[in-house]
Chain A
């Protein structure tokens, strides 16, 4: 279809495009393809060029002339997030790539001309041009980054309240300093301190420069004991030349200064030396609570349940901070599990002081998500006890001792923020406080006769993990479980079938199936229809390949390797799983912030374009794992 008129118009389009990235770097042939396949469209001022109500994006727009305003759609859109696009800029690559409606609204700000490229030609172009392909991929990556940054921004406020030892004094000072002149009487000062609950009073000169400090402990030593008159000026009893630091100094500096001069207060002054605030040793002490090491230390050395309760709050705070810092889903759940383990171990240790279990081999087991190291913000107890019964011991009595012990531990855990399990999956349940042989027999029974309840039990209890005591008991239990599973191929087949009972909520027409739960239309339960698909598949993989790990990611990695799943595919599955976990954590955090119990019901419509796309991909990964199960077990 070459004619000289077309040649002239195409070469003019090429000349235009070549002035802007990524077209300036684009291969000549690809650029020609682009210029030949675009159509020039005009949009009058105020026209909506692209918006979600227009359905799936079908066109790439390259702005040729005029200005286009883009702003996030939906009711939650913020004015300042609007961006103005100029000539040479493209939209909307992400909606096109995702083959979804654009969640951003694009409106012409004046007479706008765009080179419009149909979606099919857009995809051809991404295949023809590595430069363009890279540009689109980076564009998507950039958006992912933005969405991550947005999340971090949301959480940063929360985390901002968590000041660290690196914070400048200006950020630590909480209130206006209260100061008096040197002529003020002791009586007035002490009255003021009592009325305002002050630990110290600063004495300043006429220029607001601190010249002394008077603290509560001085009242005893310098006034009460010597019997000083309350009518004397404060200057006669104050400590002169108080320690000052500039506002910009940080908490570390203040701590150091206090240690060096053996004082409990540091005055923060501005550049002119004027008093701006008081930092006490107590203020600094509070700051130190923040770090992971400190929390672990606090938990490990906690002498009472009360201290552990505080530690649990710190764990929550710290995990929020980590979420804000962009820590991934896997790291987060593992971190929460690890600290929860630490708390649990300390609770057990504290209770061992009151319960004599000396001379018995036993271990505390955790099940379910805790067993898998995958706890989120909302988690209840799932635990049990395994012990060895020797000939000289009475079974009934031994179990009674363990049950009493377990009841105390369960109650204390409840006080520490791990609610009692509604399904009574707790060590204090006689059914779950068993000898190694009894556990063995129970497991064997479920494996031999995989009826529905047995399969359900398998999904909870087969993810056991020892938390305290003799870990080798758990190891022995696991080995015999493997033996049982190998000897009963029907069991694994049934377990695989059970794992396939829930399909990923991907729609044929729409992106997602959001009406699975009639009580919560428009939502997807990310646990039931998301995470569980991965954990169920990974469990079958692990049991079939005798992989000891209980953590889903570890199971996928280790069993996947034995199953010769390609590392790329494996990494993609793990990424999908981690993304679902991160979404859950975010959602739970959001819900709890707003005083609601954290559930797992996420509305896909409220996610941004990129998140929806990644979510879709995560579900596709779940489908892939399920396909593998179908293949392996001929289901």
Chain B
């Protein structure tokens, strides 16, 4: 199957071999129909993602853990939540103050990414400052699974800075500023699950505002973020 053995320009080469069960998982995911991004927010499943990395430089970064929560039909279901830490970065991960050494949550990178894909399905990913999360996830997928992702990422930072212009139109506003504004409490700030949770709450608030302003679908979020970023860059 050529699609996962292809070389990726400028990225680390995929050199590993996937086991047959890993290949099957990947194939299963690949065969999922793409999400319909033109349905209402309240009929859609979003996967809100937060990542933890070894450093802040996206180029040299390695993924340590992923926390994710689904927002389904506008609701957060605690049972539809995900956490994984990557075993190859055990040393780095253990250095993280939030590292929990749980065998079931700590997986080899390929298995971790497969588990994440399985949890996500083809639901659109949402992150605050998605560019960073997207790059690091795409990089890990390429390195450990040998695939190039075409999954859409919705950047809540851009979407919120547009929809809540009355509060702040600065897309560089940090997450904490929004959390402060909406008085959203964290469970354990900087833990990926907790951060994904508060981001999911921001998504809920954003969905309500967007719906009132006529942006009623995941697609409208994507376009909103694209247009805003474009405007920002050209302006």
Contacts and interface: CB of A to CB of B under 8 A. Distances in A.
A5 B67 contact: yes
A6 B78 contact: yes
A10 B201 CA distance: 15
Contacts of A65: 183
A111 B196 CA distance: 19
B187 A111 contact: no
A13 B75 CA distance: 15
A584 B33 CA distance: 62
A48 interface: no
A194 interface: no
Nearest to B81: A5
Given A44-B205, A111-B182, A8 B194 contact: yes
A615 interface: no
B201 A3 contact: no
A611 interface: no
Given A39-B76, A42-B201, A4 B104 contact: yes
B78 A35 contact: yes
Contacts of B209: 44
Interface in A2-40: 3-6, 8-10, 12-13, 35-36, 38-40
B83 interface: yes
Contacts of A44: 205, 208-209, 212
Contacts of B191: 8
B82 interface: yes
A44 B210 CA distance: 11
B205 A9 contact: no
A10 B197 CA distance: 12
A12 B193 CA distance: 12
A10 B187 CA distance: 11
B167 to A, nearest CB: 12
B131 to A, nearest CB: 24
Given A9-B187, A41-B74, A4 B208 contact: no
A9 B208 contact: no
B69 interface: yes
Interface string A43-70: 1100100000000000000000100000
Contacts of B76: 39-41
B174 interface: no
Contact of B105 (A3, A39, A42, A111): A3
B75 A5 contact: no
| Interface of chain B: mostly helix, strand, loop or mixed | mixed
A12 B83 contact: no
A609 interface: no
A39 B73 CA distance: 11
B180 interface: no
B204 interface: yes
A374 interface: no
Contacts of A111: 182, 205
Interface in B44-76: 67-69, 74-76
Interface string B177-215: 000001100011001011011000100110111001000
Nearest to B197: A9
Contact of A6 (B79, B102, B183, B212): B79
A38 B207 CA distance: 20
B101 to A, nearest CB: 11
Contacts of A47: 208
A40 B187 CA distance: 14
A116 interface: yes
Given A4-B100, A36-B79, A42 B187 contact: no
Contacts of A509: none
B79 A1 contact: yes
B166 interface: no
A619 interface: no
Contacts of A512: none
A113 interface: yes
A1 B70 CA distance: 15
Contacts of A116: 75
Contact of B102 (A4, A36, A43, A113): A4
Given A4-B100, A9-B193, A9-B197, A42 B204 contact: yes
B77 interface: yes
B63 to A, nearest CB: 16
Nearest to B191: A8
Contacts of A4: 83, 100, 102, 104-105, 193
Interface string A96-124: 00000000000000010100100000000
Nearest to A12: B187
A45 to B, nearest CB: 9
Given A3-B83, A3-B105, A4-B102, A40 B75 contact: yes
A13 B100 contact: no
Interface in B156-178: none
The residue in B79, B104, B204 that gathers the most chain A C-beta atoms within 10 A of its C-beta is B79
Contacts of B68: 5
Contacts of A40: 75-76, 78, 201, 204
A35 B207 CA distance: 24
Contacts of A3: 81-83, 104-105
Nearest to A40: B76
B77 A39 contact: yes
Nearest to A45: B208
Contacts of B104: 3-4
Interface string A580-618: 000000000000000000000000000000000000000
A113 B209 CA distance: 15
Nearest to A114: B75
A251 B64 CA distance: 86
Contacts of B205: 42, 44, 111
A36 B81 CA distance: 12
A9 B81 contact: yes
B220 to A, nearest CB: 17
The residue in A4, A13, A36, A43 that gathers the most chain B C-beta atoms within 10 A of its C-beta is A4
A43 B75 CA distance: 10
Contacts of A5: 67-69, 81-83, 193, 196
Contacts of B201: 40, 42, 113
A35 B208 CA distance: 24
Interface string A137-179: 0000000000000000000000000000000000000000000
Interface string B133-175: 0000000000000000000000000000000000000000000
Closest 4 CB pairs of A and B: A42-B204, A5-B83, A5-B81, A44-B208
Given A40-B204, A44-B209, 10 more contacts: A3-B82, A5-B68, A5-B82, A5-B193, A6-B78, A6-B81, A43-B208, A44-B205, A111-B205, A116-B75
27 contacts: A3-B82, A4-B100, A4-B102, A4-B104, A5-B68, A5-B69, A5-B83, A6-B79, A6-B81, A8-B83, A9-B78, A9-B187, A12-B197, A35-B78, A39-B75, A40-B76, A40-B78, A40-B201, A41-B74, A41-B76, A41-B204, A42-B201, A43-B208, A44-B205, A44-B212, A111-B205, A113-B201
Interface of A: 1, 3-6, 8-10, 12-13, 35-36, 38-44, 47, 65, 111, 113, 116
